[in-house]
């Protein structure tokens, strides 16, 4: 697995809130052990981009998503 991952970059989205430490990844350790760089992304930018996608674009993606994942995630209404 190390050879498959090396040299890769893995992104994380968001961050730890209120000091929570469950599932922390130490980027320097991952680089040293696996040769994998962990980079972070702000979820605010993802939300902004998602809000710009219109309904027709989403409908056009449905067949591809079904091909890749066999089912769509449940839709939440709120």
Q: Is residue 25 one of the residues assigned to a domain? A: yes
Q: For 37-66, write each residue's pLDDT tens digit.
A: 777 666 777 788 888 999 899 889 889 989
Percent of the chain with pLDDT over 90: 10
Domain coverage including residue 35: 2-69
Is the per-residue pLDDT at 70 higher than 80?
A: yes
* 8 Å CB contact between 37 and 31: yes
Q: Is residue 50 one of the residues assigned to a domain? A: yes
Q: CA torsion 25→31→34→38, rounded to 10°?
A: 50
Please count the structural domains in the chain: 1
Q: What is the pLDDT of residue 10?
A: 62
Q: What is the pLDDT of residue 56?
A: 93
């Amino acid at each position: 697995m190390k050879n498959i991952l090396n040299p890769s970059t893995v992104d994380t989205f968001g961050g730890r809130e209120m000091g929570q430490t469950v599932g922390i990844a130490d980027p320097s350790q991952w680089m040293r052990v696996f040769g994998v760089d962990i980079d972070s992304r702000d979820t605010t930018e993802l939300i902004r981009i998602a809000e710009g996608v219109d309904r027709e674009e989403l409908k056009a993606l449905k067949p591809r998503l079904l091909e890749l994942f066999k089912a769509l995630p449940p839709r939440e209404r709120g």
